[in-house]
Amino acid sequence: MANKNWILMVTAQTPTNIAVIKYWGKRDETLILPINDSISVTLDPEHLCTTTTVAVSPSFESDKMWLNGKEISLSGGRYQSCLREIRRRANDVEDEEKGISIKKQDWDNLKVHIASFNNFPTAAGLASSAAGFACLVYSLAKLMNVKEEQGKLSAIARQGSGSACRSLFGGFVKWIMGKEANGSDSMAVQLATETHWDDLVIIIAVVSSRQKETSSTSGMRESVETSPLLHYRSKEVVPKRILQMEEAIKTRDFPSFAKLTCTDSNQFHAVCLDTSPPIFYMNDTSHRIISYMEKWNRSQGTPQVAYTFDAGPNAVLIAPNRKVATLLLQRLLFYFPPSADTDLSSFVIGDKSLLKDAG
């Protein structure tokens, strides 16, 4: 490797995921081990995804990263964990065309440059940390010829951001909390592929793309420390709900799916209110959207639309098919026209191709 004039690059794209049974609370902050299982749906990568390019060259003097065009520090434990775990599993890489030959042991000394872009708001409650860290781990693993299966990679992405482990699979995904103290069994598994329930349509109402005041990481830390409701939720409520949700997904039972999704989102936000001092992720527009959906569902006697809100004010609405989705969009445009008054800026619509495979 006397020649220092080469550079090897890999680009990957990873979609975000939205939890329908939420992860909120860690039992281990460093390894990122959760206090309950969670289930999510992976979104259409065209609309909400991260694109990350990782490059290696002997001329690079240190690991560096740019997020949405701005240099960020990699000194945080999460980035270091991901880099360390991937480097540890690196293999030989040969690129005959470029005359590059990297040996397994070279990776310890080679530095990487990482450039990542989110095509949706960062740190606004649309799971940028999920798409971001999944993409980081996936692209580094490709660059360094890591041969681990997807589940093992998910356990590494988990150490970047918990929700990221679920973005390495398409379709419906469960993050199994695991029992081991070292986190070896805390990883994501695919419950159903992206084609299993492809009638579903997701519409995201971007209520605000501003960065939230309380990051998910600090919000859930405060909830673990102060909310009695969270402990009740993780022990008594979520385990049963996970089984019911798995069944609803398996049988494509939309009314049950919708009921569980809405109830779980509401309990998560109740936990935020039960935290001291309380955390407000939703705003007036979010609350008005909930009231409207509840009224609509009640008027029909059976759920027409599911809603869920992550740690931010943006609404994720799930319709059972295109017909209801069209109606939903018409109603949203009528009752919630994007305007400065409501903060509502746009709607992002996922097609039936919305449940795509990651990577």
**The sheet that has 306-309: what strands, in order across it?**
306-309, 315-319, 201-206, 346-349
* Strand pairing class (8-15; 49-57): antiparallel
Of 40, 129, 150, 267, the residue at the interface with Co ion (CB under 5 A) is: 129
Question: Interface with Co ion includes 216 (CB under 5 A)?
Answer: yes
Which amino acid type is present at position 326?
A: T
Question: Interface with Co ion includes 139 (CB under 5 A)?
Answer: no
Q: How far is the CB of 69 from ligand ADP (least distance, A)?
A: 11
In the range 147-166, which residues lie near ligand ADP by CB under 6 A? 161
Of 4-12, 127-135, 243-251, 289-297, the window that binds ligand ADP (rule: CB under 6 A) is 127-135
| Cβ neighbours of 293 (radius 10 Å) | 22
Question: Interface with ligand DP6 includes 241 (CB under 6 A)?
Answer: no
Question: Interface with ligand ADP includes 167 (CB under 6 A)?
Answer: no
114 closest CA partner among 71, 168, 177:
71
Q: Residue 22 touches which of Co ion, ligand ADP, ligand DP6, none (CB < 5 to 8 A by kind)?
A: ligand DP6
Site string for ligand DP6, 269-308 (x = CB under 6 A): ----------------------------------------
Of 53-61, 92-100, 160-168, 256-264, the window that binds ligand DP6 (rule: CB under 6 A) is 160-168
Which one, 24 or 254, has the nearer CB to ligand DP6?
24
Strands (E), the chain: 8-15, 17-21, 26-28, 33-34, 38-42, 49-57, 64-67, 70-72, 93-95, 100-102, 111-118, 172-176, 187-192, 201-206, 306-309, 315-319, 346-349
Of 14, 161, 186, 190, the residue at the interface with ligand DP6 (CB under 6 A) is: 161
Nearest 10 degrees: Cα torsion 27, 15, 209, 317: -90
Site residues for Co ion per CB under 5 A: 129, 216
